Amino acid sequence: MVAYPADVKVGGTIFSPTSTFSTSVRMTTPSDWVHDDNTALFTDLYQLTMLQAYFAEGMDEEAVFDLFVRRLKKRNYLIACGLETCLRFLETLRFTDEDIAYLATLGLFQDDFLAYLADFRFTGDVYALPEGTPVFPNEPLLEVVAPIGQAQLVETFLLNQITFQTNLATKAHRVVHAAQGRLVADFGMRRMHAGDAALKAARASYIAGVGATSNVLAGRLYGIPALGTMAHSYIEAHDVEAEAFRAFAALYPKTTLLVDTYDTLGGVRQLIALSQEHGDAFRPGAIRLDSGDLADLATQARHLLDDAGLTEVKIFASSSLDEYKITALLDRGAPIDGFGVGTQMGTIADRPYLDSVYKLVEYAGQGRMKLSTNKTSVPGRKQLFRVYENGKAVRDTLALHDEALEGTPLLACVMKNGQRTSAGSPHSLDALRTHTATSTTYLADHLLALAETDTPYPVTLSTRLSTQRDALRKKVQRSRFQVQGSLKNNLEPETRNPEP
């Protein structure tokens, strides 16, 4: 149970916590989904306590934060994704009266700070890679330039969305590449980690090249083609398998029929018999294989269908597929025309997280960096240049933001003073999908391979950026040694002559 304080006065407004919250501190809003009106609290508590500390100290000068992935595992590249979600968050970020009333109950925040939150808005700039762009370790997917409190507060949401959608888009692109031009459909929502993940996964997958989704809401929200077949339960609910086929195909011409409920090849033979009996009145578009040796069953099913003159009937396969299994099936010559990919792609089963971070690299015009072992950061605002030769990307150079180097600059200003720029305006998913398809053709074959390469894509620092980093490292280390020496001197007399 929670003990509430008396009515809280914030900025001249009196909030009554007991009238706003239940005793379990649950808001009385009609939904507990994350949405535009509650994302201000979709953050780690320490972001808010730091924001208050910055406020109390009068620290509001401009800061620069980079969001990047330190290192890859089981991947040779990433596909940047999630920017649109982040820009929408930044332009709608508000603390509602209910948010502020809740924060007042925590006993951590002062009245003047809570009043400040009532007018809080994001007024900074954002630089980012376009969604669908290949990206490599230590390259900023986005860079936030804003008063330090604003830039700090948004860390959690930006990492949450960019990390998941980038990881998912990368997995989906690997699956699509493995399918070699065949249809891939997203079938994973029932195994994904809650509703927002299922929606964002459908979006990221489509950008990466997946052709359809079973997720009807994602179809409506994003305009992604919706695709479905049937469940085994529909077959089982009928006394006779053939009657289930006939009834479903009569209602949905050119549908896909699930043939493996009892015996896969037996199901194919029943479909053939129905076709011969009913002619044009029974014309399914495809069969779906969902169990067993898919390559062998697809081969045998193809022979049966072709021998019966049903050459137009396609073969669609599912059953815990991923890029590795799809590659193995096609290497065996399986005559499969499309794949339903669910759990393995939707949960990114082989690499369910990225080593993503959001690090302060500049404050008040001065570079800042972290020196922790294996977790160092590169100071300063940046630009990323990609060099192409003979139709392939051959190297990237990470530089200071005001440098002009060889190659194509990739970081674009997508938000200025809290407002979207033309580069940050919403893009259609089809346009992003096309960008992904085009930009990944510039990757060398060894980077698109499923196995980790021994020759990763080269990313280097410009001379100026490298020099600035090294100078700041020495400065920070020298400052630390001076402080440690001062502390040691202050402690030595007491250490040498301890109290009896």
Q: List the CATH code of the domain at 8-169+352-450.
A: 3.20.140.10
Indicate the burial class of 292 (C-beta count within 10 angstroms; 0-12, 13-18, 19 or more).
middle
Are 8-169+352-450 and 177-346 equal in CATH topology? no
Phi, psi of 296 (to 5 degrees): -65, -45
Q: Which CATH architecture has domain 177-346?
A: Alpha-Beta Barrel (3.20)
Name the 3-class secondary structure at 444: coil
Query: Residue 341 pairs with which residues in a beta bridge?
Result: 186
Six token digits for residue 212: 């359809």
How do the domains of the chain map onto residue ranges? 8-169+352-450, 177-346, 462-500
What H or E segment, with its residue span, contains residue 203? Answer: helix 195-208
SS3 at position 366: strand
Q: Are 184 and 338 in contact (CB under 8 A)?
A: yes
Virtual CA dihedral for 370, 375, 379, 385, nearest 10 degrees?
A: -170
Backbone angles phi, psi at 108, to 5 degrees: -110, -20
Q: Which DSSP string corresponds to 253-317? A: TT-EEE--SS-HHHHHHHHHHHHHHHGGG---SEEEE-SS-HHHHHHHHHHHHHHTT-TT-EEEE
Q: For residue 110, what are the CA distances in angstroms to 16, 27, 107, 433?
A: 16, 21, 8, 47
Q: Which alpha helices (H) appear in 363-462, and where do they start and end?
A: 429-440, 445-448
* pTM (predicted TM-score): 0.90
CA distance 416 to 124: 6
E strand intervals along 321-407: 338-341, 356-363, 366-367, 382-389, 392-400
Tell me the DSSP string of 23-85.
Answer: TT--B-SS--S--TTTGGGSS-HHHHHHHHHHHHHT--SEEEEEEEE---SS-S-EE---HHH
pLDDT values of the chain reduced to their tens digit, one per residue, 500 residues:
333 344 544 444 444 443 333 334 444 544 688 888 899 999 999 999 999 999 999 999 999 999 999 999 999 999 999 999 999 999 999 999 999 999 999 999 999 999 999 999 999 999 999 999 999 999 999 999 999 999 999 999 999 999 999 999 999 999 999 999 999 999 999 999 999 999 999 999 999 999 999 999 999 999 999 999 999 999 999 999 999 999 999 999 999 999 999 999 999 999 999 999 999 999 999 999 999 999 999 999 999 999 999 999 999 999 999 999 999 999 999 999 999 999 999 999 999 999 999 999 999 999 999 888 888 899 999 999 999 999 999 999 999 999 999 999 999 999 999 999 999 999 999 999 999 999 999 999 999 999 999 999 999 999 999 999 999 999 998 876 665 656 556 655 554 444 43
